[in-house]
A = this chain, B = another copy of it.
């Protein structure tokens, strides 16, 4: 059916949107589940119908190849992911995969004589919802996750990534590697997950840098007390201290606003958490992200020092646990220039920008020249069944991606 010109991109997109569809309209294709496999299986079938070769690796990634005239030249890689968050939308990940497939299909139909092979990769398990690991498939590929890590990472039913891979027929004891010399470039297309392109009426975002998170866990140890019997002046209220810290985190983010750094408290856990007890314990999870390491560190240090003085002032015990610190990723300047030239030539309204969210391409960027292309997200809505991108904008993305693939694979 895919050879049929009547099988439009819109129909293709709709068919994938049915996989994992829930009654309320949300899509649930969690990492390393049958639903994610089903989506990859459909793409494999469609690709083989077109004469492309398809293979899976033991990280669950799917690779589709349109052979080049000179198969020894390094290939041009495109791709993204097909898994979703619980009750997610149809666009996050799938738009990039299907845009890549559409490019290959159009180039095939047009008889484009690519010297370099063109490959489409579907990275498995990009979303962290199930195993608390983001971009699992691409991380495994580049060696950032080993078999021990896959045994350790478990979902809320106690199933590890290792076991989930085995249940799906993969062999996690024989994980793949990435031979960078076999690839000339990697291009990912993704929805923006923010309001900037929509607000500025642009169709394409050319990403220069991807923000990286620095994370901390804060424990506040106050004194549980009777909410009626304990006078205001006698309290060591862990939640009131936490409230001051939450606002200090927000302020630290605002201070670095011009550097595009953001700071968030995403979780606040209170014990005992009942109406009539002054809270004795509160835990906060803090996430600071940015594209400039210096700015991230300034915000992080300000949060650490504010937390410390707030706790001291209130006579509250503080444990400030540094969890992780990643480096912002710079995308390839030449690839950026190629994409920009195409936008100008095709008169597609675009801007250079940064990505606050992480993507699979972060993991490949240090190894191969990498680019990231955004298309708008209506209202910036993301990780939600209501996420939406106009087909007009998706087609603009496909056009730009296709031209870039042509330039790189010619």
Contact = CB atoms under 8 A, between A and B. Distances in A.
B270 A275 contact: no
A250 B226 contact: no
A224 B239 CA distance: 22
A380 B229 contact: yes
Interface in A203-237: 211, 213, 215, 224-234, 237
B266 A194 contact: no
A152 interface: no
A257 interface: yes
Contact of A253 (B215, B232, B356): B232
Given A226-B194, A380-B230, A274 B266 contact: yes
Given A266-B278, A278-B264, A384-B224, A229 B193 contact: yes
A180 interface: no
B287 A227 contact: yes
A349 interface: no
Interface residues of A, number: 60
A289 B228 contact: yes
| Chain A contact residues: helix, strand, loop or mixed | mixed
A247 B244 contact: yes
A225 B267 contact: no
A275 B323 CA distance: 11
A195 interface: yes
Nearest to A250: B240
A142 interface: no
A215 B225 CA distance: 17
Contact of A226 (B265, B267, B282, B356): B356
Contact of A194 (B230, B279, B357): B230
A228 B384 contact: no
Interface string A234-257: 100101101110110010011001
A213 to B, nearest CB: 7
A106 interface: no
A244 B250 CA distance: 11
